[in-house]
Amino acid sequence: MRPDPGRKILFVFGTRPEALKLAPVISAARKDKRFRAVVCLTAQHRQMVDQVLDIFRIRPDYDLDIMRPDQTLGDLTQRLFSRLKKVTEKERPGLVMVQGDTTTAFAVALKSFYQKIPVAHVEAGLRTFDKYRPFPEEINRALITRLADFHFAPTPDAKKNLLREGVSPDRVFVTGNTVVDALNRIRSAAGRGAKRSGGKKMILVTAHRRESFGPPLEAICRALADLARRNPGIEILYPVHLNPRVQVAVRRILSGVEGVRLLPPLSYRDMIAAMERCYFILTDSGGIQEEAPSFGKPVLVLREVSERPEGIRLGVARLVGTDPRKILREAERLLRDPRAYASMVRKRNPYGDGKASERILDHLARRWEDTVRG
């Protein structure tokens, strides 16, 4: 049985989180005779996206190669619009699928709407209700909601957000988060690039969100420096994002601080290895908030608000913001108070069970005719 040529899905993505969370859906769609999958890469994050594609053995059908040094969000959107049009006109997909809250995802959804191509949104419904936190992701995600025809909510909380905004209930499907699918698939093959040294407790750090640029990121770095100096029995492992604004701030404050290891961005396999070996995690990443519960590792979230409240409600994550005093206080509490640490160690992941990709395709198959061709 050949894939139905009329059920052609165009997957478009540009960053590592998008690639990671769409890869299991793409892999499942390519094995599913009900669909034909076409993959278009925008290469918003060239190096990091290629790592994920290699893991899942996905070769894009199109590579738009839109990234340019120091480009603005407007430049990115304009370039994506012009190059995506050629792809959609050639392929004539029945559906375009996007993931999450990136500028790529929003621009693709908007361009698809202009061409009257239905849009499926994976990881729909996450909200902080503060349009500048995260920036520009909060608004990107809300605008994609207005453009999408299928809304794949990872959790019941996300579904409630969509229903409150007036999305029709028959267009919202709770699937779990596809990042758990990806994590389950490759976890056993994780690399060995982030080893603990000397028996020290290793703390994993990631911080690179756009709203943290400037004083907030500098405050985070000062807190890390103080944490290392006050606790010689720890090792802080910080893979530093390639964005120049992150690189300059982090290296100016943390280079040469004993107990702090600054590394280039880790491959996803090595990031998994780091999460497995660390004692706890300090991060502003949404994806790591979703992944860490699978490892039973506490997460201190370097943000004032989070669109992922499930982990905070369950107790596996805690908001600490960017105030150096609060970061230091909460980190040392985990280091010194075994009961506080144990209270954040859980084995249940509130974000999924590893079967989200299959649910997404099943929902599409059931609703395809009345949405795509109706």
Same domain, 41 and 98: yes
Q: Phi-psi bin for 354: left (phi > 0), alpha (psi -120 to 50), beta?
A: left
Let me know if residue 283 belongs to a domain.
yes
Same domain, 242 and 163: no
Same domain, 40 and 171: yes
Give the mean pLDDT of 266-291. 93
Let me know if residue 181 belongs to a domain.
no
Among residues 101, 211, 235, 291, the one annotated as catalytic is 101
Among residues 18, 32, 137, 307, the one annotated as catalytic is 137
Q: What are phi and psi of 115, to 5 degrees?
A: -95, 5
Q: Between 9 and 5, name the one with better pLDDT.
A: 9
Percent of the chain with pLDDT over 70: 91
Same domain, 24 and 55: yes
Specify whether 101 is catalytic. Answer: yes
Let me know if residue 185 belongs to a domain.
no
Same domain, 226 and 327: yes
Over the stretch 144-157, which tens digit does the pLDDT of each residue have?
Answer: 999 999 999 999 99
Structure tokens at 152: 């794949």
Let me know if residue 187 belongs to a domain.
no
Strands 172-174 and 150-153, bridge-based pairing = parallel
Among residues 16, 79, 241, 303, the one annotated as catalytic is 241
Same domain, 162 and 246: no
Among residues 36, 208, 269, 308, the one annotated as catalytic is 208
Q: Counting Cβ atoms within 10 Å, is residue 33 exposed (0-12), middle (13-18) or buried (19+)?
A: exposed
**Cβ-based neighbour number of residue 115 at 10 Å:** 13
Let me know if residue 293 belongs to a domain.
yes
Specify whether 210 is catalytic. Answer: yes
Each as own residue / partner, the long-range contacts of residues 159-168 (CB below 8 Å, 24 or more positions apart, any chain) are 159/125, 160/125, 161/125, 161/126, 161/127, 162/124, 162/125
Let me know if residue 221 belongs to a domain.
yes
Over the stretch 153-197, which tens digit does the pLDDT of each residue have?
Answer: 999 999 999 999 999 999 999 999 999 999 988 875 544 444 445
Let me know if residue 317 belongs to a domain.
yes
Number of separate domains in the chain: 2
Q: Between 269 and 238, name the one with better pLDDT.
A: 238
Same domain, 134 and 261: no
Which CATH number is 230's domain given?
A: 3.40.50.2000
Over the stretch 98-133, which tens digit does the pLDDT of each residue have?
Answer: 999 998 999 999 999 999 999 999 999 999 999 998
- pLDDT at site 51: 82
pLDDT of 346 over the 70 cut: yes
Same domain, 27 and 78: yes
Q: How confident is the model at residue 1 (pLDDT cuts 50, 70, 90)?
A: very low
Same domain, 19 and 162: yes
Specify whether 290 is catalytic. Answer: no
**Cβ-based neighbour number of residue 179 at 10 Å:** 27
Same domain, 336 and 229: yes
pLDDT of 242 over the 90 cut: no
- pLDDT at site 192: 43
Among residues 7, 16, 32, 123, the one annotated as catalytic is 123
Let me know if residue 53 belongs to a domain.
yes
Domain span at 91: 8-176+355-372
